[in-house]
Amino acid sequence: MEVFGLKGEVSFKGVGIHTGAPSRVLVAPFEKTGLFFALPGGIFPVQTAAADGTARGTTLTFPDGSRVMTAEHLLAALAGLGVWSALLTLSGLEIPALDGSARPFVEALAPLREPGWEVVPVAAAREIAFGDSRGAFMGVIPSDRFEITCSIRYDAPAVGAQVYEGVVTSDTFAEDVAPARTFVLDSEIAGIRDRGLGRGGAVDNVLVIDDGDPHATSTYRVPGEPVRHKVLDLIGDLATLGRPLKGRVIAHKAGHRMHLELVRRIRRGLLLF
C-alpha cells in the first residue's frame, strides 16, 4: 500500500451543489498523518466529526459546531490517491461541486503527492453485515487489500442494474472511479428542490438521466457511470475513518446513510484496529 502526504497546496473554488453558494477549499500539507479540517474552533481530524448522510450527501459536524457539507468527493479524491496527510480549510458552507465528480480534485492533487508517510490501515478482522427493509445491504469481510463490490438497481432503463467490482488502487481510482459524476433522475429533481437541496445543481455538475430514455447511456462519461459514482461516494464516506481500510466492502443499493453506519460500526469495535 502506497501512502502519501502533500508537498504543496492547492485551492478549489466553485458553488456548493446543495446550497448554491460560492465556496473555496484550500488543501495543504500538514505535519501530522491524517485528514484534518481547519475550523474556527481549531484543527480537527476528520474522524472527530459526527457524519450525517440523510440529505443526498455527507455533512460533517465537528466538535466546535462547525459544519462541512458534501465532503465526500474531496475526501474520496484524497483517499483514492492514498493521501493521508492533509489540512483542509473551507471558506463557505459546502465543498465546491466543481464538475460533480472527483476528477478535478485528483488532477490537481496527484502531482503534489509526497511518499513516505506511515499510516496503519484499519483491517477488517471479521465479517460485518447489515441491511434494511428496502433490500439494501452493506458489509465488509477480511481481505489483504481494499476491494469494493458495489451494485445498484433502478427502474429507469438508462440505469437498470449495474455492478462495479475490483481492487481499489490509486490508478484504478483515478481512471475508473474519479470521473463519475453525481447523477439524478429527472423524476427526482422536483422532490430534491422541495427539500431545499440541489440549488447549485446544473448540467455542468450533475448527470441528469431521463427516466424513460433507454439511450441515455450515451451521455455517460465512463461505462456504468452511476454505479461508479456510488463507489466514489463510498470511498469518500469510508475516509471519515481517518485511515485507509483494508477489507472487501460489499454494497447493494446502499447510500451515504448506510456507508456511514458501516463507519460507525467499525468505530464501535466490531473490527480490530
Catalytic positions are: 256
Q: What is the dihedral of CA 6, 108, 209, 218, to 10 degrees?
A: -120
Paired with 22 in beta bridges are: 15
Q: Which of 231, 240, 232 is nearest to 261 (CA)?
A: 240
Report the C-alpha gap between 173 and 158 in whole angstroms.
24
Q: At what angle do helices 256-265 and 225-238 cross, to 10 degrees?
A: 30
Report the C-alpha gap between 165 and 8 in whole angstroms.
33
Q: Residue 213 class from Cβ within 10 Å (0-12 exposed, 13-18 middle, 19+ buried)?
A: middle
Amino acid identity at 149: T
Residue 119 contacts residue 244 (beta carbons within 8 Å): yes
